[in-house]
Amino acid sequence: MASETEYLRAILPSLPTGIAAKLRSLCATPATESALENLVRFICGAQHSPEAPKDFHGEWFEKQLTTRNLLKGMNWTSNSSENKRPREDGTENESESSKRPRISPAPLAADGNPIYTLHSISTTSPIRKKVDITICENSITFTNPSTRASEASVPRASIRRAFLVPTRGKSKPHWTVILLSSDTPDRGRPANPATPENPQIIFGLDATSAPAFTVTTYKSGSEPTPEVSPKGSTTLPFICTFLIHLGVALFEPTADVFKSACAGIGNNVMAGSIPGVEAYRAAKSGSLWFMKEGILWGESKPCEFWPVRSLINKREGVRIIGGSGRTCSVVLTRKTEGKGTDGDDEEDMGEETEFGMVDAREQEGIDQWVKKHRHLFGKTEGDSTDEGVDVEPMQPKKIKQFGPVTINQLATADDEDDEDHDFAVDSDSESDGGSASSSSDGDGAGGSGGSDEEEGGEASEGSDEDGEEEEELKPEHHPLLRPGAMPKMSRAAMDMVVGMVEDDMMGGEDDDEEDELDD
């Protein structure tokens, strides 16, 4: 029975003697003692006792909120000055009158009126415990569910971005909400841990609530309206409502933009289509979430966000190191603030962040994401870009093939420029050039013969070009056109190339002599 009446037994020694004696006499029966225990729990904002009647469960929280508001409206300090010892200098009235208005109403004035509350939420930042999260007019407050004491508060105006991501590695489907005041976290330990310069809010909750889930809506001029959802309810609608009341830009990774090649450990809200990869930043594990707006390092604090425009350039913005084994590393390079304003990327080396232990199977998906979004890397807000347009698929390179494809043709295919087509010789100009060269035969038989042979070769080659159809090669159908691809050479081709190099280095006269002897 002692554990069931822990609140009552805890306050009895601190009560006035007369009240404590009266309460002890009333606790002669277990039923009376249980009723007094629930009364104490009810007033202080705690949960009812485990042995409380079932009819308490349905209306406990609603009645508790009403009682709390009534108690807040009472004048608690009307007789407090009568019990204080007066100061010897006789200036207590003047000093107290100037200090009291700044002490009592200050927290309410700073936070403003409450708007929406999620109850009993496990948070990771700015504190690590289960609290009630309330959106107020001026702040986001974190309150202890049992004692109603304020644990932390973050200015609402400081929050710039909100992210909703599926939590990886959980036994049950789970959501994680990340609220950032800055894309980059505080570097080093803040001077005052209670009030960091760039606060972050990270909390999570199950996609399907195991116990009853409660939220509270506050409307001006009316009582708070609690909404209790039964066990097994979906929590996503309440999360969306919370973020709508917050009023900041919301970013959600989707499988349409990026899809992981690995299933991961545990259950996930987006089963089979996780839009992120598991990685390590130093010794901390977490996830890189790829979105069309940028890349988020989330779940483990401190979180960090790389917008696509903050990545330094197309080549160095996102790089993959390794990949030949089971794991690889992803390096993100952020533009340094205040540099690169003149358009010279070489002056800004950027800030590199490396994420290791990434599964090598994720390399292809990361490459595809980079190809789709690298036209935005390093751009400023004023630059004109084709948003969401993949440049390479829209403008595939055209390669003219004449019989079998050689290694040299594949090597020069990527180096061809559209401007080269401006210098192509038309059939009419070829015929004119041929007639002009044929008419000038006075320069010598040897020279004219050589020029005729060259022109004849060019004419025949031009006729072959006219006969062949232009074929468009797309990267998705031709692996050799993908970034970083290397053409495979047969053993015979490699031996031939090695032999040619050896001949050039050793000289070709010996081969000619051997051929003559063989003849």
Q: Where are the beta strands (DSSP E) in 245-391?
A: 249-251, 276-281, 284-290, 294-298, 304-307, 318-322, 327-334, 351-359
Maximum pairwise Cα distance, the chain: 136
Q: With contact defined as beta carbons under 8 Å apart, do 424 and 410 qualify?
A: no
pLDDT tens digit string along 186-218?
877 666 666 788 899 999 999 999 888 999 999
Taking the CA of residue 378 as centre, how many other CA atoms within 13 Å lie in the half-sphere pointing to its CB?
A: 23
Class at the top of the CATH hierarchy for domain 106-187+195-251: mainly beta
Contacts 24+ apart (CB under 8 A), 148-155: 148/44, 148/45, 148/68, 150/107, 151/127, 152/126, 152/127, 152/194, 153/110, 153/111, 154/126, 154/181, 154/199, 154/201, 155/199
Mean pLDDT of 357-385: 86
Q: Residue 367's closest CA among 479, 251, 253, 488?
A: 479
**What burial class does residue 171 get, using C-beta atoms within 10 Å of its C-beta: 0-12 exposed, 13-18 middle, 19+ buried?**
exposed
Q: With contact defined as beta carbons under 8 Å apart, do 303 and 297 qualify?
A: yes
pLDDT at 428 over 50: no
Two tokens at 29?
């029966």
Query: Rounded to 5 degrees, what are φ and ψ at 119?
Result: -100, 140
| CATH no., domain 276-339+346-393 | 2.30.29.30
Whole-structure pTM value: 0.56
More confident residue, 35 or 144: 144
Q: With contact defined as beta carbons under 8 Å apart, do 141 and 115 qualify?
A: no
Q: How many Å apart are CA 393 and CA 476, to the nearest integer?
A: 9
SS3 label, residue 281: strand
Would you list the domain boundaries of the chain? 3-70, 106-187+195-251, 276-339+346-393, 489-519
Query: Rounded to 5 degrees, what are φ and ψ at 354?
Result: -105, 135
List the helix and strand counts (H, then E) for the chain. Answer: 14, 19
Two tokens at 439?
């008419």
Return the pLDDT at 296: 97
Mean pLDDT of 280-297: 93
pLDDT tens digit string along 128-149?
999 999 999 999 999 999 988 9
Q: Where are the beta strands (DSSP E) in 70-190?
A: 114-125, 130-136, 139-143, 150-155, 161-166, 174-180
Q: Residue 285's closest CA among 347, 352, 231, 356?
A: 356
Two tokens at 85?
């010892």
Tell me, what amino acid is at 189? R
Q: How many Å apart are CA 232 and CA 209, to the nearest integer?
A: 5
Q: Is the dihedral of CA 513, 514, 517, 519 positive or negative?
A: negative
More confident residue, 253 or 396: 253
Q: How many Å apart are CA 106 and CA 111, to the nearest integer?
A: 9
The pLDDT-based confidence of 357 (bands split at 50, 70, 90) is very high
Domains 106-187+195-251 and 276-339+346-393 share a fold: yes
Mean pLDDT of 272-290: 90
Q: With contact defined as beta carbons under 8 Å apart, do 361 and 262 qualify?
A: yes
CA distances from 115 to 71, 137, 177, 222, 500 (A): 20, 7, 18, 12, 80
Q: How many Å apart are CA 295 and CA 291, to the nearest integer?
A: 6
Return the pLDDT at 106: 40
Q: With contact defined as beta carbons under 8 Å apart, do 180 and 307 qualify?
A: no
Taking the CA of residue 394 as centre, how many other CA atoms within 13 Å lie in the half-sphere pointing to its CB?
A: 8
Residue written as tokens 């010279």?
Answer: 344
Cis before 86 (ω within 30): no
SS3 label, residue 74: coil
pLDDT tens digit string along 302-322?
999 999 999 998 999 999 998
Return the pLDDT at 250: 93
The pLDDT-based confidence of 446 (bands split at 50, 70, 90) is very low
